[in-house]
Amino acid sequence: MSFSKEQRQAVYDTIFARRDVRGEFLPDPIPDAVLSRLLLAAHHAPSVGFMQPWNFLIIRQPTVKQQVHQAFQKANDEAAQQFSGEQADRYRRLKLEGILEAPINLCMTCDRDRCGPVVLGRTHMPEMDLYSTVCAVQNLWLAARAEGVGVGWVSILDPAALKSILRITTANIVPVAYLCMGYVSHFHGEPELASKGWRQRLDPASLIYYDQWGQQESPHKLDEALGAQRRLLLL
């Protein structure tokens, strides 16, 4: 099956317009049909040995969100202490979650025991089931952008505290992603960490090596093409 130019462009548009959303959530509910499409997109992600190790824990109750928000505040205070001076002030000014405002929170977990101890493709790289769950997160994140639904990933949480709040009592269920989801007033054009001066996007050419680690070419073979395609994609 091949895609038309327009369909291809729509995929790139979705990828480049996806944002991590923290502050623009609207209270409007996400219809079941839309939520179902997002979950199906996640469920069709690739996974090691076709393990499909994920579960989707949908959180709607304000009391549960409140508890998660409190856990965030505690973790965020601890995280803020990692920075000092002006950077600490800047960190404190960042909004890094939308737990209470987002109509739905979604915890995507990885069941490390889903297929028993032996999984095709996981023998030498045991973390592959966690990575598979992250693939599912990204599928959902992109589908959500196409639907006009914002998603914000909150990882400033102590996993043990999160598991306790969500009553995840099994040791081998790992909360991989805590996501805030909802329709938004608007999507930012750029990552907020960039527009707020925290960190800028790296030059992709500087990240590409050939044949051996650290080996680059001068002039860089892809430099011109990367620049031209970036302009074509309107980045």
Ligand X SMILES: Cc1cc2c(cc1C)N(C[C@H](O)[C@H](O)[C@H](O)COP(=O)(O)O)c1[nH]c(=O)[nH]c(=O)c1N2
* Residues of the shown chain interacting with ligand X in the complex, contacts defined by CB under 6 A: 19-20, 22, 96-97, 153-156, 191, 193
Least distance from C-beta 191 to ligand X, angstroms?
3
Report helix angle 85-93 to 62-80, nearest 10.
170
Nearer to ligand X, 48 or 99 (CB): 99
For 65, the enclosing helix (H) or strand (E) is: helix 62-80
Nearer to ligand X, 115 or 140 (CB): 140
Least distance from C-beta 173 to ligand X, angstroms?
18
Phi then psi for residue 66, to 5 deg, are -60, -45
Least distance from C-beta 79 to ligand X, angstroms?
9
- Residue 235 and residue 63: Cα distance in Å, rounded? 41
Which position's Cβ is nearest ligand X? 191
Residue-wise DSSP of 187-224: --SS-HHHHTTS-PPPPGGGG---SSTT---SS-TTHH
Report helix angle 128-147 to 5-17, nearest 10.
110
Residues shown for the chain: 235
Nearer to ligand X, 122 or 145 (CB): 145
- Residue 102 and residue 90: Cα distance in Å, rounded? 24
Least distance from C-beta 179 to ligand X, angstroms?
10
Please give the torsion angle defined by the CA atoms of residues 154, 158, 160 and 164, in that order, rounded to the nearest 10 degrees: -60
Nearer to ligand X, 115 or 144 (CB): 144
Least distance from C-beta 49 to ligand X, angstroms?
23
Nearer to ligand X, 96 or 173 (CB): 96
Least distance from C-beta 98 to ligand X, angstroms?
9
Nearer to ligand X, 80 or 216 (CB): 80
